[in-house]
Amino acid sequence: MSDFEEHATPEQPPAPSQSTPMAQSPEESQSRSPDRPPEAPALGLDTVAVTAGRPPHEPDQPLNPPVVLASTYVAGGELEYGRYANPTWSAFEEVLGALEGGRALAFPSGLAAVATVLDLVPVGGVVVAPRHAYLGTVGQLADLVESGRLSAAPLVDVADTEGTLALLPGADLVILESPTNPALEVADLPALCAGAREAGAAVVVDNTFATPMLQRPLEYGADVVLHSATKYLAGHSDLVLGALVTAPTERGNELYDLLDSRRRKLGSTPGAFETWLALRGLRTLPLRVERACANAAVLAHRLAQHPAVERVRYPGLRDDPGHTRATAQMTAYGAIIAVEVRGGAEAAEALTAATRLWVRATSLGGVESTLERRRRWAGESATIPDNLVRLSVGVEDVEDLWADLSAALTAVSPDAG
C-alpha cells in the first residue's frame, strides 16, 4: 500500500475562516457566492507576512530571527542535528504556513520539493499532471515513467474540468497548477480537488504563480501546496529554495509527517542563509505582489491593443478563457503575462533581445521584469506556440516598462508602427 493510498479516505476540506478577503470590502464579503475566494485568517495576510515567525516581544530580543549556521546541536533537545531541523527554517515555515493556512516544510529547491512528493507515490503508481506546467515537474514525471517507477503520468489540459476528472479514477496523485506555466490556463480547483477526493487521490497544487496573497488552494480542498520559493516568495532572484505546505486536516497532518521524514532521510535540507533570505523576502511579499499585479493589469490591456501582438494570455482580461474562473478563485490576476508575437519565433526571439529594461532571463517573480521565449527550451510542450513570450512583470514604474516594451515590439515588427 502506498503512502498516498494509506491516507486516501475522502474528507471534506476545512471550513473557510471568517475574516474579510484581501481586496474585498465587507459588503462584497458578505454577499459573495460560494465560488468566491475563501475568506482570509483573522489577521490580514499583509499583517501575517510581517508579524509571523518573529522572536518574542521581550527586552533585548532581536526583531528578526538570526541566521543559525549549525550542523550539530547539544543533545537532549528537539533539534539534535542539522539535517533534522534549524531555527531559521522554522521561522520561514511558520510565516509561509500561516499565509497558506497549513504547515510548511522548506526544501533546497522547488524540484527537491516535487521529488519528495513523488517519492511517496507507489511503484507502478499513476500521477495526473498539467500538460503545461513547470518543466522540472514534467521532466521528473517523464523520467519516472521511462524508468518504470510510475506506470503512467498522463498530462492534461487542467482548464478542461470534465476531461481532467475523467482521468482521476485509479490515480494516486493529482498535480495541479493554476494559472499554468506558461499558458496561464485556470483550473477549477474546487471541482478538481473534490473529484480527486472522490477518486481517492491526493492533490498537490503548485501555487508559485499566484502565491497565497492571491489564492489559497488548501481552502479549496488541496492536500499539499507546492512553491518554488526562488520566485515570488523570496522575490529578489538571489536564492534557490522550495517549500511544501500541508492542509490542517488528518490527512494533511499525516502527509506532513511523511514528507518531513523523507526530507530527513533523503537529505533534502535547505541552506540556512538561503532560508533566511527567503524569510526576509516574505516580509514584503504583499507589497511586491500588489505592485506587480497592478503593473501587469495595465500592460496586459495595452498589449492587447498593440498591432505587433497576435494574442495576450492573461486571466485579468475579460475575454480571456480563464477570466471568470480566476475572478471566482483569486483576489487578483497575477503578474505573469504571455504574448504571442506577430512574425513567429524569429520575431519573438528578437523581442527578447530588443528591450533595455526588461531582462532576457528565465525564472520569474523577482522585483525586476524579465521575459523569454519559452520554446527556446527543448523540453517545453509542443502545444506552446513558437512565438509565445512569457513576461514576468516586476515593480518598476509601469510607464517605463511600457515604453521599453512597446518600442521593442515596434522595432521587431516595423509594420506595427
Residues that are catalytic: 83, 134, 206, 231
Asked whether the beta carbons of 321 and 268 are under 8 A apart, the reply is no
Cell numbers 492571491 correspond to what residue? Answer: 214
Distance CA 222, CA 224 (A): 6
How many whole angstroms from its chain centre is CA 380?
A: 18
Distance CA 80, CA 105 (A): 18
Q: Which grid cell is 383? A: 502545444
Distance CA 221, CA 247 (A): 8
Asked whether the beta carbons of 316 and 296 are under 8 A apart, the reply is yes
Asked whether the beta carbons of 69 and 278 are under 8 A apart, the reply is no
Asked whether the beta carbons of 175 and 127 are under 8 A apart, the reply is yes
Residue 248: is the preceding peptide bond cis (ω within 30°)?
no
User: Could you please report the per-residue DSSP string of 306-327?
Assistant: -TTEEEEE-TTSTTSTTHHHHH
Q: Which residues contact 40 (CB under 8 A, 6 or more apart)?
A: 17, 19, 20, 21, 22, 216
